[in-house]
Amino acid sequence: MPDHTVTAYDDELASLKQMVAQMGGLAEEQLARAIDAIAKRDVRLADAVIAGDERIDELERQIEEKAIVTIAKRQPMAQDLRQIIVTIRIASDLERIGDLAKNTAKRTHAISGEMPRKLVTGLTRMGKLAQEQLKDVLDAYAQGNAEKAMQVWRSDEDIDALYNSIFRELLTYMMEDPRMIGPCAHLLFGTKNMERIGDHTTNIAENIYFLVHGKMITEERPKKDSTSTTNFPNK
């Protein structure tokens, strides 16, 4: 005879995982649309991204509430407790990724005028790389694949290296043509957002490793951002 209590508990854990998957899908969509908006200087699409951020915020609230209720009601141990804690952590990182996508979309209004296409290319390249990392880490979470998560974790230095290159290129444009200072400054904010999205995907990868192995990664996090002392406010 089946234990309906255990079945209901398993359903709650599965539901939390499904909600994270849904939130991840929304974050992927928001990021893709934000990059597309700024690449095409499409302010209508940018506004849609900005408005769409509320869905991600609401889903994070629902995940957190459901996780807290599950902990209080079930008093989970070991693997189950790790799964719920990791769910809350990943939802928090996805919410921040949504915020960074929204903030990037906002830059579209500031650079909607004519400017050399080459200046936007670096940001879109970084955006595509951030998209790939986010997709891969969400796949790793869905599969419970720690090794795939570690591949994303190690690849963060690629996005840092690209950011350093674009940072120097945009500074050069700003020094050579004062008219480009405003647009380039907004692009710098956008590229910094992509670099920070890479950091959040790295956080997610670390939490997947913790979920699978029950311990944190002991290796030093790969980092090649030589501009990390620069402050870039996002709110």
Nearest alpha-carbon partner for 200 in 22, 61, 24? 24
CB 119 within 8 A of CB 170: yes
Distance in angstroms (rounded) separating the CA atoms of residues 206 and 215 = 10
The amino acid sitting at 97 is I
Beta strands in the chain (DSSP E): none
pTM recorded for the entire structure: 0.90
Domain positions in the chain: 4-213
Q: What is the pLDDT of residue 230?
A: 43
Which residue in this structure is represented by tokens 């079930």?
74
Tens of each residue's pLDDT in the chain, 235 residues? 455 567 888 899 999 999 999 999 999 999 999 999 999 999 999 999 999 999 999 999 999 999 999 999 988 888 899 999 999 999 999 999 999 999 999 999 888 666 677 778 999 999 999 999 999 999 999 999 999 999 999 999 999 999 999 999 999 989 998 888 988 999 999 999 999 999 999 999 999 999 999 999 988 877 666 664 444 444 4
Structurally, at CATH architecture level, domain 4-213 sits in Up-down Bundle (1.20)
Which residues, 6 or more positions from 16, have their beta carbon under 8 angstroms from its beta carbon? 63, 66, 67, 70, 83, 84, 87
Burial (CB count within 10 angstroms: exposed 0-12, middle 13-18, buried 19+), residue 82: middle
Distance in angstroms (rounded) separating the CA atoms of residues 39 and 130 = 15
Separation in Å, CA 84 to CA 51, 77, 155, 184, 214: 29, 10, 26, 42, 13
Distance in angstroms (rounded) separating the CA atoms of residues 25 and 131 = 11
Separation in Å, CA 86 to CA 63, 83, 121, 165: 11, 5, 35, 34
Distance in angstroms (rounded) separating the CA atoms of residues 16 and 70 = 10
CB 204 within 8 A of CB 148: no
